[in-house]
Structures are given as structure tokens and as C-alpha cells.
Amino acid sequence: MSPIRAIIWAVAGLLGWELAMRLYPQAVLISSPLGIARHIAENASLLARATWETSTNAAWGFLWGNLAAVILGSVIAVVPRSARALSALALLVFCIPLIASGPILRVLFGPGVGPQIALGALAVYYTTLLAFLVGVRAVSQNWTDLMQIYGRGTVSTFLRIRARASLPYLFVGLQISAPAAFLGAMIGEFTGAERGLGVLTLRALRGLDTDATWALACLAALIAMSAYALLGWLGDRLVGYRPVLLLSAPSTAAPRSIWIRLLELGLITGLVLVLWQVSMDGAGLNRFFAKRPGDVWAFLMDPQNRATIQTALVETLAFAAPGYIAGLALGAGLAAALMLAPGLSRATMPVAVALRAVPIITTAPLLVLAFGRGLVGTMVVVAVMIFFPTFVACQQGLRQTPGQIVDLFKSYEAGRWHLLRAAQLPAMLPAFFASARMAVPAALLAVTTVEWLATGKGIGLLMAMTASTSDYNMLWSCVAVLAVVAVTAYGAVAAVERSVLRIYASEQVT
């Protein structure tokens, strides 16, 4: 779409939005474009300072998170034996919802911008790591064989071949992760910061100031979309090539016995506990707020404590699961529908990008007020959170259908529905399941955020209450339980993925 046409469509959308609000003034949960513009004009100085604060913290988090991802990915590429342990550690950290780790980081870092930057880094590193690893592995075997013939080692092969080959994938990973850095910085401001868009968002939500909430959501979305577009432009200029597939099916190259898997799981669990203990002791952190594995274990051995966490966790999972399934179904269904009606793709993509760019913490309370504090409201928030990544991944998967197969169907004059059902949907399965794995932590982040801010239920509320009452044993235990649940759910989705792909798309399992 040309820039002029995009501007025309944007202006038309704003006029339609304003007209709708004039026709339905009783829609108190939705502000008009003029109301949003009026609020921004009246508070321009305050919003400018808050935007600068949040953007600066997000930029530092983006820098440190992506730097950590590149270093970690480089170690995995140079020392392949470390891949399983390092990948498991990276996944474990990624599976801890940001809203859960935020209060702990606030306690550890104290006042200041440390939690905002740390959460911004945690929000971006795993996406970039996955894209970077796909890139360093997307190298022709002929090139690596040639390096071996000339006696080059693993490090030399990485620097001369793999690192260069990973650049297109790295830029796409940076582009995708940019909005997440802004989200992480805003969540960090929720935990007790004094300045920033997150602080203003919290004030607007508590005061039920709809114009302010929508203005902050629009500003955050605009910045996130600008960062997304800027990194995409830089990638096109510096690299000139965009890979079509970033998510892939898990490797099944080396089947292992159940005992080997259990041994690996035990070793990785032990490594995590040792790192946890050593990091707390090494930093000399006070045991009152910096709990060790032994403290959490002793706390969870109390039946009453376990019952409290179990009750809250059941509430959370009962609301997260329907939203997770609905988000996946909506994303995959829309991607498939656009293959049947490709003319609608141009009109649908901007809406999907906007939904992704708006930070969930600004819209969650409004969505809950609009759809209720029960199952439907929470399900809508979770579904919105994971819809866009699933939609984009499934679109990429559908486009991976081999051209020869498409040509064969066309030669027999097969219709679009027949082509979609028999060829394109099986081709989409690896991308769909990869996005389903990535959506597990996102779903937990969405549901705990809603519980924290709006519904007053579940483990999200329990963490908010324990953080405000300095019950750090309960807070650390909730975070540990959520991490275990997320990793377990991630592993369950991966197991289902392998079983399904072996039957319906075995040729696409790498």
C-alpha cells in the first residue's frame, strides 16, 4: 500500500470513528478521536516527559535484552553441547510472566529505573534469541563443509559464515521484539515507579478517566508501531533480505529414552536451583526479601500455603485456557480465511498490527469493563494478546506450501477451499504449533495482568496483595509455581506438536 493511500485510509478511519461516537454518545468506555486529541493537547508537557522516560527505559531494555540474546545464541552456536541446557534456562526465564517478576525486581533493584529496564530486556530477549538461532543454522551444508576442508574451527565458521547469515533473521527478531520492550518498561513502572506512561496509565485507570486511558494507549501504540517500522526499514536498507520463516518445529533428530530425558530434566532443574542460590548469596541479598530455593520449598510444604496458591492457580488457569484456545483459533482461522479471500488482507493487517501494538496493560481494564469481570472479559483480553503472533505465523506457514503442489492442484482446477484443506493447512501446522508454544507465556501474562488490574481474582491478585504486604515467601512461591506451570504447558504443547506433525506433516519436521 502506498503512503498516500495509507494516509487516506487512516483519515477515513478516524472520521468514521468520530462519527460513530457522535451517533452513540452513551458508549462511555470508548473515547472519540477529538476527545483523545483534546486530552493530549491539554497535557502535552506531562505526556512528553512521561513518553521520554518510558521510551528511554524501553530503549535500554531493548539494547541489553538483545545483546544478551546475541551472546547466548553465539555460545549455543559455537558450543552445540550447551544448547539443551542454555535453551532450557532461557525458556524458563521467558516463561515467568512479567507481571510476576516485576515486584521481585522492584524489591531487588529498589527505587529507580532498574526494574523497567530489566523487564524491557526480559520481554525481548527470547524472541530475538529464537530468530538469531534460526539464522545461524540456516546455512548451506556446502559452506560449513568448505570451512572444514580448509581446517577452520567452529569459532571461525561462526564468525565468517553463520553470523553473517543470521543478520536478516536478527533484524526481523529485533523488529518483532521492539513493541515488547515498551510493554516491559510500562509493566516495570506499574511496580512503584514515579514517572512514565505506566504511572500515568495506572492513575487514569484508578480515576476511570477514559480520555486519558485512550490517549495513553494511542501514544504507546504509536511509539511501538514507529519502532517496529523503523527497525523494518533499517533491516531492508542494511540487509536487503527478509526471511519468510522464523518459527520451526522442534527437532526430532535424536530420539532419546524416557530415562535420558528424566536425567536431563533433573540436571537442568538442579542447575537452575544452584544458579538461583548462588546468585542470591553472591549478591549478599537480605533473606527477608530475596528468598532462596530452600525458603520457597519450606513455604510450599505448609498445607495451608499450598491450598491458598492452588485455589488461586485454578482460578487463573480456568480463565486462561479458554482465552488461549480462542486466540489461537481466531489467529489461525483468520489467516486461513484470508487465503480464501485474499482481497481482504490489506484491510485486515493494519487492524491486527494495531491490536498487537497497543500495550495490554492499557486496554485490559477497558476490555474487562466492556465484556464483564467474568470468563468472557478475561477470555477476550487473553485472546487479543496472542491473536496477532498466531495470525502472522499462520500466514507465513500457509505461504510455505510448495509451489509444485499448488501448481498441481491448479492444473486439476481445484478450488481455493480444496487447495486450502488438502495442501495449505498441513503446510501451516509447524508454524501454528510453534506460535502455540510461544503463546503459553503470553497467555499467562495476559490473565495475571487482568487479575492484577481489574478482576480481583486468581494468582495475579494474590501476587499483588503479597507484594503490597511484604509477604515475600508467598510472592516468590507464586512466581516459582507460575514458572513451573508455564514450562509444563509449553512442553505439553511441544509433545502434541510432535505427535500431530508425525501424522499430518512429517516431511516438515526438522
Check whether 251 has a pLDDT greater than 80: no
Q: For residue range 389-406, what is the model confidence (pLDDT) as tens digits?
A: 788 778 877 877 878 888
If phi > 0 it is left, if psi is from -120 to 50 it is alpha, else beta; for residue 457 that is beta
pLDDT digits (tens, 9 = 90+) for 233-242: 888 888 776 6
SS3 22: helix
The DSSP letter of residue 96 is S
Give the integer Cα–Cα distance in Å for 156 and 151: 10
For the record, the C-alpha cell of 360 comes out as: 495490554
Give me the helix-helix angle, 197-206 and 360-371, nearest 10°: 20
Among residues 292, 289, 291, which one has the least CA distance to residue 273?
Answer: 292
pLDDT band at 350 (very low <50, low <70, confident <90, very high): low
pLDDT band, residue 151 (cuts 50/70/90): confident
Give the mean pLDDT of 362-369. Answer: 72
pLDDT above 80 for 471: yes
Domains and CATH numbers, the chain: 28-246 (1.10.3720.10), 269-509 (1.10.3720.10)
For residue 130, the one-letter residue type is: L
Classify residue 169 by burial, with Cβ atoms within 10 Å: 0-12, 13-18, 19+: buried
Closest CA to 182 of 126, 215, 221: 221
Q: How confident is the model at residue 347 (pLDDT cuts 50, 70, 90)?
A: low
Q: How many CB atoms lie within 10 A of CB 499?
A: 10
Better-predicted residue by pLDDT, 84 or 293: 293
In 3D, which of 58, 93, 83 has the Cα closest to residue 441? 93
Q: Share the mean pLDDT of the chain.
A: 82
What confidence score (pLDDT) does residue 63 get?
94
Which grid cell sits at 478?
507464586
pLDDT value of position 56:
93
Considering only CA atoms, which of 196, 244, 204 is closest in space to residue 220?
196
- 23, HSE (Cβ side, Cα atoms, 13 Å): 6
3-class SS of residue 160: helix
Could you write out the DSSP letters of every residue in 321-342? HHHHHHHHHHHHHHHHHHHH-G
> Does 509 have pLDDT greater than 90?
no
Would you state the pLDDT for residue 352? 66
Q: Which three cell numbers stand for residue 114?
A: 532498574
Region of poorest pLDDT, from 39-43, 226-230, 500-504: 500-504
Q: What local confidence, expressed as pLDDT, does residue 136 receive?
A: 83
Q: What does the block give as the cell for 259?
A: 530415562
Give 3-state DSSP helix, strand, coil % of the chain, rounded to 5.
Answer: 85, 0, 15
Tens digit of each residue's pLDDT (9 = 90 or more) over 65-79: 999 999 998 998 888
What integer is the mean pLDDT of 56-66?
A: 93
Check whether 64 has a pLDDT greater than 90. yes
The Cβ of residue 228 has, within 10 Å, a number of other Cβ atoms equal to 19
- Concatenating the DSSP letter of every residue in 258-277 gives HHHHHHHHHHHHHHHHHHHH
Q: Is the pLDDT of residue 349 over 80?
A: no
C-alpha cell at 377: 472479559
Reference 185, options 227, 151, 239, 236; nearest CA is: 227
- pLDDT band at residue 322 using 50, 70 and 90 as cut-offs: very high
Q: What is the pTM of this model?
A: 0.79
Task: Say if residue 432's pLDDT is above 80.
Answer: yes
Residue 299: pLDDT over 60? yes
Q: Does pLDDT of 105 surpass 90?
A: no
